[in-house]
Amino acid sequence: MEKYYKNHLAHIHDKYFGDLSKNAALDLITNIWTNQTGRNVIDIGCGSGILASILVANDFSVTGVDISNDILEIARKRAPSAKFIHASLHNFEFSPCDIVTAIGEPINYLFDHKSNYESCFIFFNKVYNNLEGNGLFVFDFLTTKIGLNDSSKIIEKEDMTMFLSVAIDKDNSILKRTMIYFIKDGNFYVRDTETHKQYLFDEKVIVDQLLSIGFEVKKIDGYNGHQFRDGHIGLICNKVK
């Protein structure tokens, strides 16, 4: 299988794109979404462990799951008291927990070619069946309303420059994000590139799936005041006993 979020991109994500998970963690520790008092969390698509590190510092116990080994290496250093598992969310064997998170659109990625309505329905069922009591499931994802306002741009930081271009296929179902980047590595700049594909979901179909499984669902437009862009939404799903 092709590798994604390889070493350099994993570090770029960790250093410059961690705001979502940081803000989601801040919302979780203030307990704004639920009366769930359990502190056993499974973080799907955990990336470099930003959410895990904040939660373990606040007495949560966290298991992070990610398909990229390189990004998990950063997570293990950042949050040594959390547990991290290398797996796809579509194959991961859940164990009982109080809260499941999937922050930063992991359900959209086509890294293992399985992201579609059917695989999501299976995944949501596994989440529901493993949540204890009034368990909480928080996730965000890209919808078919994402649009293409920013089809290409240059992101410049002190030690890296990224050329980012985004295209959506004519069926409005797959987004392709091509990243070409130059990053400082010692005295030199290294050039690398990754292309990520994401399946775009219809919001109503996803919400209907969750309701049919038995979740109560509330839509949010950001974490801790950090707003998603248009077409990117978050769902707070409470398990109803």
- Binding-site ranges for ligand SAM (CB under 6 A): 4-5, 18, 20-21, 45-47, 50, 65-68, 71, 88-90, 103-106, 109, 111-112
Q: Which long-range contacts (CB under 8 A, 24 or more apart) does 32-35 make?
A: 33/136, 33/138, 33/218, 33/236, 33/238, 34/134, 34/136, 34/236, 34/238, 35/134
Which of 7/21 has CB closer to ligand SAM?
21
Cβ at position 90, least distance to ligand SAM in Å: 6
- Residue 109 DSSP one-character state: B
Cβ at position 241, least distance to ligand SAM in Å: 28
Which of 33/111 has CB closer to ligand SAM?
111
Cβ at position 101, least distance to ligand SAM in Å: 8
Which of 89/146 has CB closer to ligand SAM?
89
Cβ at position 92, least distance to ligand SAM in Å: 7
Cβ at position 240, least distance to ligand SAM in Å: 26
In angstroms, rounded to a whole number, what is the distance separating the alpha carbons of residues 194 and 214?
38
Which of 211/227 has CB closer to ligand SAM?
227
Cα separations (Å) of 237 from 35, 40, 92, 136?
12, 16, 20, 6
Helix, strand, coil content of the chain in percent (nearest 5): 25, 40, 35
Tokens (6 digits) for 208: 């209907």
Nearest residue to the partner ligand SAM, using Cβ: 47
Return the bridge partners of 15, or none: none
Cβ at position 65, least distance to ligand SAM in Å: 6
Which of 145/177 has CB closer to ligand SAM?
177
Looking up tokens 């590190």 gives 53
Which of 104/135 has CB closer to ligand SAM?
104
Mapping DSSP to helix (H, G, I), strand (E, B) and coil, where does residue 24 land?
helix
Neighbours of 88 (CB within 10 A): 21
Which of 168/179 has CB closer to ligand SAM?
179
Helix 117-130 with 203-213: angle, nearest 10 deg: 40
Q: 105 phi and psi, to 5 degrees?
A: 65, 30
Cβ at position 43, least distance to ligand SAM in Å: 7
Return the bridge partners of 72, or none: none
